Amino acid sequence: MRLWGGRFAAEADEQVAAFGRSIDVDAELALDDLDGSIAHVRGLGRAGLLTTDEVATLEQGLVALRADVESGSITWDPALEDVHLNLETMLTERVGTVGGKLHTGRSRNDQVATDLRLWSRRACDRLDVALVAMERALVELAERDGDAVLPGTTHIQPAQPVLFAHHLLAYVEMLERDRDRFVAARRRLNVSPLGSGALAGAGYPLDREATAAELGFDAVSRNSMDATSDRDFVVDMLAGAALAMVHLSRLAEELTWWSNPRFGFVRVSDAFSTGSSMMPNKKNPDPAELVRGRTAGVIGSLAAMLTLIKGLPLAYQRDLQEDKAPLFASIATLEASLAVMAGVVETLLVDPERMRDAAEEGYTTATALADELVRRGVPFRAAHHIVGGLVGGAEAEGVRTLAGLPDEAYRAALDGSDDPTARNLAGVKGIARALREAATVEGSLAAADVTGGTAPSRVADQLAAAKARLQAG
């Protein structure tokens, strides 16, 4: 018998019944539903709505059901719509008519809201562990091969040389923000809706605070209508997941390009690559590509959830049944993506020579050379113009780097400047050598000696700070 069917004279149309079923999705909430029910039963006992024996009987039945769910021995009945009715029916079959008292003072509206918050809280905790593992993989790679020099780019064009460790630690910063987002999401969602009923609040003197504390919530909801219809926390979770996937996708994009033999900066392990069914030569970084591709689905889930709730009046509407599939799928995708990308990074082989060779292309030390002129009193705009002329001359002469220019080129560039300080520098003994040293990759790296910069000592500080954060948890 339908647990809600007392006022209905006709059976539901089979298509309607099938259309409304959610057990294939919300069975994921079974353990959370049982935890919530156990706490609710104890609350009913405290309120005098159940005898001590009834509390014991129901609690024993629920604990036994929990063990069966954990062992995978439960068979779900699609005719019972959802996980809540399935579990209540199973309980009643085991303990008898007292099972009919379980739902006293509770609606599926506050029940599912509680379940989903409990599930989301566990998901936040799992994601923090997975994010930390990904950060550790990046930090370990930065320690192992971080002194390699990478061509930093803007507009996908050569810009300035950076340490490979500096580049990797940029992703560590992104992932730290992801961790912070899920910590904040967990804090906001850790409020108990249980006792809100369908929308107006339970009709019994339930101690909501005691039940909330038993379930590990920090507080109880202040408004029953908001409590049963609020899915902001689902949006929080999806927003955090979408942005974390975007960060992984950016790294996946770079690894895909870097592993192309034309770049040759890195080699992805065979264990994290696939081949072609047609071309025997192929070695494809498929896991990274799939992470990049599945990011689209998580972004789509966020858009879908925002669209789902944008037109809903208070309080609960059945539309909210559709909140779980995108949430569950997106969190599973993020967890799997973090694990596979950590594996890719942990097994990555780096070619420092290829990186260094590329870092010297495109006159990437030009900014450091201009800065050296500024340190010697030349206005930056004049220095910019002088170095631009040196770059143009090197290109015309086929000289690959600014450090490869002869002394005469430096002196001529200074002497031909409109700036008097620059012209005076042209006659300074050893000036060409000093500028040439500033124009080396090492000189360029060393010059970025500010907090957060790519100077080796500053990157060492960043690395030490990242390790300390991860060790602290």
Q: How confident is the prediction along the chain (473 residues), in pLDDT tens digits per residue?
A: 466 667 887 888 888 888 999 999 999 999 999 999 999 999 999 999 999 999 999 999 999 999 999 999 999 999 999 999 999 999 999 999 999 999 999 999 999 999 999 999 999 999 999 999 999 999 999 999 999 999 999 999 999 999 999 999 999 999 999 999 999 999 999 999 999 999 999 999 999 999 999 999 999 999 999 999 999 999 999 999 999 999 999 999 999 999 999 999 999 999 999 999 999 999 999 999 999 999 999 999 999 999 999 999 999 999 999 999 999 999 999 999 999 999 999 999 999 999 999 999 999 999 999 999 999 999 999 999 999 999 999 999 999 999 999 999 999 999 999 999 999 999 999 999 999 999 999 999 999 999 999 999 999 999 999 999 999 87
Please, which contacts does 168-171 make with residues 24 or more away whose CB atoms are closer than 8 Å?
168/138, 168/139, 168/141, 168/142, 169/138, 169/139, 169/142, 169/459, 169/462, 169/463, 169/466, 171/138, 171/247, 171/250, 171/251
Residues contacting 16, CB < 8 A, separation 6+: none
Q: Identify the residue whose tokens are 């996708």.
A: 249
Please state, in angstroms and rounded to a whole number, the distance separating the CA atoms of residues 172 and 142: 10
Nearest to 62 by CA among 82, 92, 29: 92
Q: Which amino acid is at 66?
A: R
User: Residues 117, 86, 47, CA angle at the centre, nearest 5°?
Assistant: 60
Axis-axis angle for helices 232-258, 164-189 (nearest 10) = 170
Please state, in angstroms and rounded to a whole number, the distance separating the CA atoms of residues 12 and 16: 7
Burial class (CB in 10 A: 0-12, 13-18, 19+), 147: middle
Please state, in angstroms and rounded to a whole number, the distance separating the CA atoms of residues 178 and 75: 37
Q: Are 298 and 266 in contact (CB under 8 A)?
A: no
Token representation of residue 305:
């959830």
Please state, in angstroms and rounded to a whole number, the distance separating the CA atoms of residues 113 and 318: 13
Nearest to 292 by CA among 241, 238, 344, 256: 256
Sign of CA dihedral 341, 120, 22, 99: positive
Backbone angles phi, psi at 230, to 5 degrees: -75, 125
What local confidence, expressed as pLDDT, does residue 3 receive?
A: 65
Q: Are 116 and 82 in contact (CB under 8 A)?
A: no
What local confidence, expressed as pLDDT, does residue 2 receive?
A: 62
Nearest to 206 by CA among 52, 39, 63: 39
Q: What is the pTM of this model?
A: 0.95
User: Residues 196, 199, 204, CA angle at the centre, nearest 5°?
Assistant: 45
First to last CA, the chain: 50
Q: Torsion angle of alpha carbons 121, 127, 131, 137, nearest 10°?
A: 140
Token representation of residue 289:
């590509």
Q: Identify the residue whose tokens are 């906001």.
A: 188
Token representation of residue 387:
């170095």
Catalytic residue ranges: 155, 276
